[in-house]
Amino acid sequence: AQSVAQPEDQVNVAEGNPLTVKCTYSVSGNPYLFWYVQYPNRGLQFLLKYITGDNLVKGSYGFEAEFNKSQTSFHLKKPSALVSDSALYFCAVRDAGTDKLIFGTGTRLQVFP
């Protein structure tokens, strides 16, 4: 079965510093990977996705993600964190066989001024 794991419950980073939110995946076949963000009391918003091609994917709000097939990882990154980036981040994988969209447990990002 397809799955994703987010090993960190929380990531703390100072404003202006680079940030990384980790995600590893387990799939049979081609991986279709997504990152979403959830602000307090809101639904999830799509950030970016990896389908095929370039291993560095650029998305909304200055975020990017690096796909690494050998390490089965899809880490979310941003060169310079903002306080407004503080939110809950979810990694997800699409099961190409059933079309289910399976989410990780989420990582809370706290950016301190």
Partner 1 sequence: NAGVTQTPKFRVLKTGQSMTLLCAQDMNHEYMYWYRQDPGMGLRLIHYSVGEGTTAKGEVPDGYNVSRLKKQNFLLGLESAAPSQTSVYFCASSYPGAVTEAFFGQGTRLTVV
- DSSP run (H or E) holding 57: strand 56-58
Using the rule CB under 8 A, which residue among 15, 20, 66, 102 binds partner 1?
102
- Tell me if 83 sits within 8 A of 15, measured CB to CB: yes
Using the rule CB under 8 A, which residue among 56, 80, 101, 110 binds partner 1?
101
Task: Name the minimum Å distance from CB 48 to partner 1.
Answer: 9
d(CA 57, CA 65): 5
Binding status of residue 9 toward partner 1 by CB under 8 A: yes
Binding status of residue 98 toward partner 1 by CB under 8 A: yes
Using the rule CB under 8 A, which residue among 10, 17, 26, 45 binds partner 1?
45
Binding status of residue 61 toward partner 1 by CB under 8 A: no
DSSP, collapsed to helix, strand or coil, labels residue 61 as helix
Q: How many CB atoms lie within 10 A of CB 31?
A: 20
With contacts defined by CB under 8 A, name the span among 16-24, 46-54, 60-68, 77-85 that binds partner 1.
Answer: 46-54
Binding status of residue 8 toward partner 1 by CB under 8 A: no
- To which residue do tokens 């650029």 refer? 58
